[in-house]
Amino acid sequence: MPLAFITGGSRGLGFETARQLRERGFDLVLFAKDADRLSQASKQLSANYEIFDAEDAASTQNAFLRALKNHGTPDVLVLAHGVMSARDAKTIKTTESEWRRVLGINLDSVFYIVSLIGKEMVEKRSGRIIIYSACLGRMSGPGNAGGLAPYRISKAGVNALTRNFAHESNHGQRGVLIDAVCPNHTQTDMGGPNAPRTVPEGAACAVWLATRAFDPTHDKTGLLWEDNEVIPW
């Protein structure tokens, strides 16, 4: 069976992505910080798991090294962990600690994981990386106003990392795909119960990217997706 590593797997979009991939026959390794919730989620999905703290570089790297040793290189990597910045965190009103917290979790950890797992996928010449970004990180279109500075900037960094790695891996020609997803305002702990989208709706595009047929002669990767359609960065 294909293997997926999924961060943020104890709840929200990460758990829902894992649930849908499990229904499609994937073996799973879930990653999250909350040990109790992660254990419960793993039992529910018959998954393996690794505890990690995305704010801690050593914790992040060690968790994924353990997973590689114990389970091998995944066919799919889904990065669904993340935090929102403080509501009043504007560019010139953000504390250093808040900046480091949000960038550490939302961007630095993504770099550590992609650089580690991506290397293995490149050597295998096979793999898919899907990163949950946000429309708030876009440089054009709706959502690119000010405010929430650390969050917006961290997601813009995720978008740039996605594009950069896609160019370096020749846009799927070498067997490795990488894409970013805008799930929109979804009923997660972060989005709140009144968000317009259900969690299954928010996870649908990431699941599609993880399982779609891909022909490098005409299909595209290294892009920002929303509802299975490419949107501008």
CATH fold for domain 3-231: Rossmann fold (3.40.50)
pLDDT tens for 2-51 read 999 999 999 999 999 999 999 999 999 999 999 999 999 999 999 999 99
pLDDT at 86: 82
What average pLDDT does the segment 210-218 reach?
A: 94
Q: Residue 205: which residues within 8 A CB-CB, separation 6 or more?
A: 181, 183, 225, 226, 227, 228
DSSP for 61-94, written as a single string: HHHHHHHHHHH-S-SEEEE----PPPTT--TTS-
Whole-prediction pTM: 0.96
> How do residues 60-113 score in pLDDT, each as one tens digit?
999 999 999 999 999 999 999 999 988 778 888 899 999 999 999 999 999 999
Candidate from 18-22, 186-190, 215-219 with smallest mean pLDDT: 186-190
**Residues 36, 29 contacting (CB under 8 angstroms):** no
Separation CA 191–CA 212 (nearest Å): 27
